[in-house]
Amino acid sequence: MRAQCGNERKYAGVHYCQSSIIASQLIRVDEISGKCNLDQRLGGKVTDNCCSRCFRDTSIRKHIRLNEMMGNCEYCKSENAPIMDVGKVGHFIRHGIWRAYETVDDVPGNLRSGDEVSALNVLLYEEEIFSTRLENLNKSEHLAEDLLTESAPNPHDGDVDELEGGDGFLYTKDGLYGLDYNIFNRSWDIFNYSTKHISRFFDVPKAKTRKKLLNTLNKITFSKMRRSLPVGTKLYRARVSPGPLPSDLVDLQGQLGPAPETLAKNNRMSPPGIGYMYCSEDMKTCLDEIRAVIGEKYWVGEFTLTNSLKIIDIGLEPNLRLKSIFNVRYNHEMLWARNFVRGFSTDISIPIAPGDAPLEYVPTQVVAEYLRHRGNDGIRFASSLAPNKYNVTLFRLAESTSGHIYESVPEALIFYKTMYLSTVYLVEVNSDGSPQVLQTERFSESSYSSLRNRSEGDF
C-alpha cells in the first residue's frame, strides 16, 4: 500500500500534498516512494513559484514544464499552471547567461567599450525572456530580481555572486573581437592563405585540409544558399562585335557561348583551360562586366534555360536563426555567422586588379570546384562593377562537351539540353552607358529541330 504524507489530496487522479503555509500550491507526490518532492514542506523555508506562462523564451518554458508540477503562480497570477521554484529557474537562467556573456572583470580595462549591460537588463531587454502577460502586470522586473537573488551562491560558503543579484555588469562574450575573429572568419582566412601560399592541388601533411575548412563554411553559407533557376530564366552574355551578325545558329552560339577550352582564360571562378559560362541577369550588367566603351558596338546574346539549374546564390542572405542562450544546444559562434556571410559575399565579388588576379582568384576557383563537386550547377554573385546587380557562373556546360564547344551541330544540341540562344542583339553603348539596340535576331526552340535534321547520329 502506498505511503501517504498526511497533507495530501487527490487532484485529477494524481495524489498531491497541500500545506496551508504554501498558499494552496499543488505539489506532485512521487507515486513510487510516496515522498513529497518539494523542499518547502512544513518547517522549511517558503519561497515563491513562477510558471511557464511568465516567460516568452521557449527553452525556459520547456524547462519548467519538465518539472511536472502544477499550481498557482505568484507573479502572473495564472492558476493550475506548470510551476517551479523561482530559485531553481534562476539557476537554469544563470547557466544560459554564462553561455553568451562574461563579466566586466573578464575584459581588460583598456578594452572596455562602454557597451556593458546589467544582468537584470540582459533578462529584460537583451534576451527579452518575459511574456506579454507578465509585462502587462508590470511584474517583469520583480521576477527578474527574484530569479537572480534566489539563485545567488551563498556568501557564507565563501562564494561570490558575479551577477550581484542583477546589478553586475556584463559584456557579450567575445564581443570585443568576435566579429572579426570567429570560427567562420578563421576558416576562410586559413583557407585563403592555404590555397594561395601553401598547397594548390593537394593538402600537405599536418595542414588543415581545405575540404574540412569549406565544410565548416558550408554549414552556414552554401547549404543555406541553394536555390533553383527555373526553366525560362533568361541570362545574358556580350562580346565586342567583329562585324555583322552571323546568320548560322551554330556560329552564333559559338561566338556567344562559353569559351572553348583552348581560349578559356583565368577568371574569378575558373582557371585557364576550364570554360565555365559567365552570364549576367540583364543586358546592361553584362556590358558593364566586359567594360563596354561608349560608342562601340557589341553582340549581346540572350539565353533561355530549357532545364532548371541548381545554384548557390551568394547574394542570398541565409536564414540563420540563433538558438536561445537558454537552449543547451546554443552555439555562441553563430552570433557572428550573419556578419561573416555578408563579408564573404563582398569578398567573393570585390574587384581585383588584373595584375593580382592570377593569385587572388585561386580561393574562389577552389570554392567553385568544391560546389561543383557537391552537385551544384553554378553560382550567383553580386557584380563588382554594377551596384545591386548580379552575375551567374554556370559549371554544368563545362561537363556537357569535350574539346572545342559548339563548333558542330551535335555540340550545339548538347548545349540545347541546358539552354538555347533565344535572341541576339547588336547594340551600341550610349553616352550614359545604356545599350541602344541596332539589330535583333530571334530564335525559337523549334529552330533547334532543324539542327537535328543536319546532324548525324542520335543525340
Confidence of residue 350 (pLDDT cuts 50, 70, 90): confident
Asked if 276 and 257 touch (Cβ cutoff 8 Å), the reply is no
Q: Which of 13-27, 191-205, 318-332 has the highest mean pLDDT?
A: 318-332
Q: Can you tell me the distance from the alpha carbon of 242 to that of 254, in angstroms, rounded to the nearest whole number?
A: 14
> Residue 8 pLDDT more than 60?
no
Please give, one letter per residue, the 3-state secondary structure of the chain. Answer: CCCCCCCEEEECCEEEECCHHHCCCCEEECCCCCCECCCCCCCCCCCCEEEHHHECCHHHHHHHHCCCCEECCCCCCCCCEEEEEHHHHHHHHHHHHHHHEEEHHHCCHHHCCCCCEEHHHHHHHHCCCECHHHHHCCCHHHHHHHHHHHCCCCHHHCCCCCCHHHCCEEEECCCCCCCCCCHHHHHHHHHHHHHHHHCCCCCCCCCCCHHHHHHHHHHHCHHHCEEEECCCCEEEEEEECCCCCCCCHHHHHHHHCCCCCCCCCCCCCCCCCCCCEEEECCHHHHHHHCCCCCCCEEEEEEEEECCCEEEEECCCCCCCCCCCCCCCCCCHHHHHHHHHHHHHHHHCCCCCCHHHHHHHCHHHHHHHHHHHHCCCCEEEEECCCCCCCEEEEECHHHHCCCCCCCCCHHHHHHHHCCEEEEEEEEEEECCCCCEEEEEEEECCCCHHHHHHHHCCCCC
Confidence of residue 47 (pLDDT cuts 50, 70, 90): low
**Average pLDDT score over residue span 444-450:** 67
Give the pLDDT of residue 165: 83
Greater pLDDT, 268 or 4: 268
Confidence of residue 95 (pLDDT cuts 50, 70, 90): very high
**Per-residue pLDDT tens digits for 269-301:** 888 888 888 999 999 999 999 999 999 999 999
pTM, full prediction: 0.68
Give the pLDDT of residue 189: 86
**Average pLDDT score over residue span 229-244:** 89
Spell out the domain ranges in the chain.
47-172, 177-220+319-348, 226-314+359-454
- Lowest-confidence segment of 129-133, 342-346, 376-380 by average pLDDT: 342-346
Residue type, 47: T
> Residue 65 pLDDT more than 90?
yes
**Per-residue pLDDT tens digits for 163-184:** 988 888 898 887 766 566 777 8
Give the pLDDT of residue 459: 39
> Residue 32 pLDDT more than 60?
no
Give the pLDDT of residue 22: 37
**Per-residue pLDDT tens digits for 107-149:** 565 455 557 899 999 999 999 999 999 999 999 999 999 999 9
- In words, the CATH class of domain 226-314+359-454 is alpha beta
Mean of per-residue pLDDT scores for the chain: 79
